Amino acid sequence: MHATADTQQTTSLHGLIDLGRYPIDELESPKGRELIASCRRQLDKDGCVVLKNFVPEAALARLERETERLSPQAHYNQTETNPYNSAGDPALPASHPLNRFDDRTNGFVAGDCIDGDTIIRQVYEHPGFQRFIGAVVGMEEIHQYADPLADLVVNVLREGCQHPWHYDTNEFIVTMMTRQSHSGGRFEYAPGIRSPEGENFEAVETVIDGDRSRLKSLDLQPGDLQVFFGRYSLHRVTPVEGDKERHTVIFAYAKEPGFIGRPERAERIFGRMAPIHERMLKNGTKRTDRLAD
């Protein structure tokens, strides 16, 4: 069961977040304003900011136990996909990004499996955390997903799993590493490679071909918080190696209230749809941009 509005207002972030280092509860203070300014500078520079040790040491063990407990509920799916999660186009060359398919095998724990007493849901639904994320991405207000499956998700990658080159469906994404694999599982991205005005297929093709000149690579660790503009930055997670799973929590927010993921995407990622997705299939869906995915 998710937290209620009253719970959101009273749940303290003390002990869940290192507020001494990251004073998200005092954004109007000099230290709070500098934190926001620093995050925005980093986002402006390359579309990504990582807040190391966002969760204090004392809470890390509990955080890892949470996702370990949840991970057996992950739905695994294996598919061959292009960066746009779409069909190929036989009218285009085989080298075109729309026709470049790679193995995607990973697991996702749906939001309706994550209770309100977990650290991750308490943080996700807390108004103070939401105000902080909104300030970082330059929005006066952000909204939790209305999608009961995709609002708060745990991504589980076991040995051999990977998430090949792709884009996110929302403009920005907030993630927290909770468990790192023995090796592999590196996050790599090409910041701002496309925009709402165009796909920039030629540059995407060079990345897929192995050109690393515009790539950035992150060594994420448990307790690190990442804010990332994944709608416009091509990115991937390299194959996990070893018998230790890689766990990452995905906090999904949107600019407008009422955001629901596409029904076919829910079916593919979670192996099921919620009633709201079934209603969307019946009534049709609308897109807010003209990008390929």
Position 87 in a domain? yes
pLDDT at 212 over 50: yes
Position 288 in a domain? no
- Mean pLDDT score of the chain: 91
Position 98 in a domain? yes
Q: pLDDT tens for residues 111-160?
A: 999 999 999 999 999 999 999 999 999 999 999 999 999 999 999 999 99
Q: pLDDT tens for residues 90-109?
A: 999 999 999 999 999 999 99
At 6 the pLDDT is: 41
At 171 the pLDDT is: 82
Share of the chain above pLDDT 90, in %: 80
Position 80 in a domain? yes
At 265 the pLDDT is: 83
Q: pLDDT tens for residues 157-184?
A: 999 999 999 998 778 999 999 999 999 9
pLDDT at 75 over 60: yes
Domains identified in the chain, total number: 1
Measured distance CA(63)–CA(118) in Å, rounded: 8
Position 293 in a domain? no
Position 199 in a domain? yes
pLDDT band, residue 281 (cuts 50/70/90): confident
For residue 211, the enclosing domain spans 5-283
Position 56 in a domain? yes
Whole-model pTM: value is: 0.88
Kindly report the number of other CB atoms within 10 A of residue 187's CB atom: 21
Mean pLDDT computed over 207-216: 97
Q: pLDDT tens for residues 31-54?
A: 999 999 999 999 999 899 999 999
Q: Are 169 and 131 in contact (CB under 8 A)?
A: no
Measured distance CA(26)–CA(278) in Å, rounded: 42
- The domain spanning residue 182 has which CATH number? 2.60.120.620
Position 102 in a domain? yes
